[in-house]
Amino acid sequence: MSTLADPETDPETAQEPAETGPPLVARILTGVLVLQLGLGGLLVLGDVQIGAFPGFGPEAPPLSDPVRPGDQRRVFRPDRDRPGTQPARPPGDIPTRLTLDQIEGTTYRLEGEIAPGDAARMIERLASLTPAAERLVLQSPGGVVEEALALGRHIREAGVTTQMLAGEFCYSACPYVLAAGATRDIDDTAQVGVHQHYFGESTILPAAFAVEDIQTGQGEVMGYLVEMGIDLRVMQHALTTPPDEIYVLLPEELRDYGFIADTN
């Protein structure tokens, strides 16, 4: 007489539970890896900065917050944030390269991001203006430093005044164009901001070459500021403020560093 095996007690006939999916730990690790790869891809594309996510990145407040002495570093997102007062046009509408338009008479507006090739293009435009420009009203989130320096030298040679209107902004490489004015007229509510710059066309370089690029670039900027009569102490703020933040200079600092002539 045969005996039926009990599947609950006989190890040879017992069946393993059916697999319903990967172990929990493996699924969690896979999810983390996918998230990291996704964030990495966004950063490589250069379209998203970590500081754009709530809870990550620098602790500096947005540009929309008022600037006070000792509290001047702000998150640098000019496409989203605007200065405390209303600019002539929202930052999101700023042209992606420099434009030059007549305001009235010999006063023109120079506005937009400073893109590769803009210096030569704007120098040619300025040379063709009738009447010739005597005053340039600036608004720009910055851009390519080398272009700003080349354009600035032309503006100084032409003896043109640079101006900033109430509530408008000039960040990053833009202050070098502003500094080029034979005279500079800056409203107390305008925002002039500085920070660290990228130098060189490629960031995929050995460390020694990257450092050499940075030092050469900073040396060129310092020489330019000396040419324009700007106190090099302004570089302390630029060199200690990361690229994803901006240090907004107060009116008294603009006077102290020579951007505005001291009338006292």
What confidence tens digit (pLDDT) does each residue in 233-258 have?
999 999 999 988 999 999 999 999 99
Give, for 194, the enclosing helix (H) or strand (E): strand 191-194
Confidence of residue 54 (pLDDT cuts 50, 70, 90): very low
Retrieve residue 245's tokens. Answer: 């933040």
Distance CA 75, CA 64 (A): 10
Q: Is the pLDDT of residue 45 over 70?
A: no
Q: Look at 81-90, 206-215, 241-250 and tell me which has the smallest mean pLDDT.
A: 81-90
Closest by Cα among 91, 72, 95 to 81: 91
What is the reported pLDDT for 71? Answer: 85
Distance CA 264, CA 86 (A): 30
User: Which tens digit of pLDDT belongs to each residue from 141-158?
Assistant: 999 999 999 999 999 999
User: Which tens digit of pLDDT belongs to each residue from 7-32?
Assistant: 455 555 455 555 455 566 555 555 54
Strands ordered across the beta sheet of 73-75: 73-75, 245-249, 191-194, 169-171
Which of 209 and 44 is assigned the larger pLDDT?
A: 209
| ω into 131 cis (within 30 of 0) | yes
Distance CA 190, CA 182 (A): 19
What is the reported pLDDT for 49? Answer: 39
What is the reported pLDDT for 253? Answer: 97
What is the reported pLDDT for 53? Answer: 41
pTM attached to this predicted model: 0.71
CA dihedral 83, 133, 226, 205 (to 10 degrees): 70
